Amino acid sequence: MVKLGYIALGGALGAVLRYAISLIPFKPLGFPFMTFITNILGSVIIGIIVGLVLAKPSLSGNFEGFFKIGFCGGFATFSTFSLELVNLLAEREYVTGGVYATTSIAFCIMGVALGEYLADRIARGYFF
């Protein structure tokens, strides 16, 4: 039951932070840049969390629940990405939509890999 509380707190924090970032008025050429950045950051963060838990299994449990399930689940949102993509396509912004879809997927995958790499470096003491 305690783990559920950690997940709920992490989810609330992630959702509030995601909303705060969405208030930044930056949408160059109609590109949903803030959702794009949020999803990449979420990917890097989840990569770091997974990498740290793999390197230090004692961090699992509440730590993992708070950050991986809660925070990242509330912070990065595939549903907002999907809605924005559907809206771009409905507005016949095919090039912008295509760029948004392909770069979002590519950068988020790279973000997870980068996060895992950074976690490995942290766990080995290269940064601290």
Tell me the whole-structure pTM to 2 decimals. Answer: 0.83
List the chain domain ranges: 2-122
Strands (E), the chain: none
Minimal CA–CA distance to 15: which of 37, 46, 38? 38
Alpha helices in 1-128 (DSSP H): 2-22, 33-55, 62-64, 72-75, 78-90, 94-123
What are 5-58's pLDDT values in tens digits? 999 999 999 999 999 999 998 888 888 999 999 999 999 999 999 999 988 888
What's the distance, CA 97 to chain centroid? 20
> What are the tokens at 53?
């838990």
